[in-house]
Structure 1
Amino acid sequence: MSWSGFGRGLGGIAVAMLVGAGGAEVAATPLTPFRYEAQAQRHCPHDQVVWLDFRKGIYYGKGQKRYGQGFDGSFVCLREARDSSYRRSLLGLR
């Protein structure tokens, strides 16, 4: 096999890898932030509403001290926050 034929063979492998990788994508739930808790609860009536601090990348539950506080946050559905790889805060848990 010549080097020119070798390059074409690798190109075919690369294309096959790219095509195969497209089917393995995982679709994340889109994050829908709300200014008010009631809006978030209407958006996800069967889920818990949490306060998401975008700057810290964590969320707070309703019983936690920082729930609903701060300028860099928003109310979101718990499932959406988890699916978007945000983690829960352990501060203020009772």
Structure 2
Amino acid sequence: MILAMLLGGLATEVSATPLTPFRYEDQAQRHCPGDKVVWLDFKKGVYYRKGQKLYAQGFDGSYVCLSEARDSLYRRSPLGLR
């Protein structure tokens, strides 16, 4: 019982940044003016920066803020810039 109370108390202290996906790049940039915008591929679980080959490609993706993608534990694409 004490262990459950301790674990329950720890869970309430953790908070994650909500991920806000956008259909258009300029909408995402207005949402996070001090941050970079990335293309998040939900199916692959990776994000692409502007200039990478798969940036803004595919049907399973959306524009998001870089900090939100990182906070939501999505990983950076290993593919280089074109």
Number of aligned positions between the proteins: 82
User: TM-score, with normalisation over the residues of structure 1?
Assistant: 0.78
User: What's the CA shift for 1:39?
Assistant: 0.4
Q: Residue 6 of structure 1 corresponds to which residue in structure 2? A: none
What aligned pairs does 1:1-80 form with structure 2 within 5 A after superposition? 11=1, 13-23=2-12, 25-80=13-68
Question: Any runs of at least 4 consecutive aligned residues in structure 1 with deviations exceeding 4 A, and if so which?
Answer: none
Q: Percent identity?
A: 73
Give the 3 Å change call, closer, same or farther, for CA 68–14 of structure 1 in structure 2. same
Which structure would you say has the larger RCO, counting Cα contacts within 8 Å and 6 or more residues apart?
A: 2
CA RMSD in angstroms comes to: 1.7
User: TM-score, with normalisation over the residues of structure 2?
Assistant: 0.88
C-alpha distance in 2, partners of 1:28/1:20?
A: 16
Unmatched runs of 5 consecutive residues or more in structure 1: 1-10
Query: Could you say which structure has the larger radius of gyration?
Result: 1
Unmatched runs of 5 consecutive residues or more in structure 2: none
